[in-house]
Structure 1
């Protein structure tokens, strides 16, 4: 797999992972829950998804060659990007008016 495909794969995984906590009531989209998730559980799941997508990116970078060292700036930027990608799911869950 070339580097371009790896980048697009990580971006697609980030979009899915950022919106997954808000689009369903299952834990990580797999484990069913009896009660609806609260905002705190959504945020906790969002953090878990951030680390899972980061692990995917790290694995793809390792498969491509050398893993480059990153500073705190990299993680602050990727966390902000991940929160930005989660905005559509947040709007759908909490701000979109549903008419019965």
Structure 2
């Protein structure tokens, strides 16, 4: 896999993972909950776990392509903010869209 394909794959995975907690009421789209709908704190916790999963896949792809570059705190701060921004469409659909009926 070349560098460009791996980069786009990680971006697509991040987009899907950031929106996954908002588009279903099951935890990680697998486990049902006892609540009528998932509370916001569960969705945010799920987003945090998925951020680390996508990061691990990204590191694995980077290692497979070649040498893994060392990352500092700035990389993690920016990637976490980007992950939150990628999850914004799901947040809008879940909490801010007006429901009819």
Taking structure 1 as the reference length, what is the TM-score of the superposition?
0.97
SS of 1:73 mapped into structure 2: helix
SS of 2:11 mapped into structure 1: helix
Unaligned runs of 5+ in 1: none
Question: Which stretch of structure 1 is more off in the superposition, 26-35 or 64-73?
Answer: 26-35
Moved over 4 A (4+): none
Match of 2:43 in 1: 42
Query: Partners of 2:21 and 2:57 in 1: how far apart?
Result: 18
SS of 2:26 mapped into structure 1: coil
Match of 2:30 in 1: 30
Match of 1:68 in 2: 69
Query: Partners of 1:55 and 1:32 in 2: how far apart?
Result: 25
Taking structure 2 as the reference length, what is the TM-score of the superposition?
0.96
Q: How much is the aligned-residue C-alpha RMSD, in angstroms?
A: 0.7
Q: Deviations over 1:7-57 (max 9, x none)?
A: 010000000000000000011112222322101001000001100100110
SS of 1:63 mapped into structure 2: helix
Unaligned runs of 5+ in 2: none
Match of 1:88 in 2: 89
Query: Partners of 1:65 and 1:30 in 2: how far apart?
Result: 34
Q: Deviations over 1:35-90 (max 9, x none)?
A: 22101001000001100100110110011111110000000000010000000000
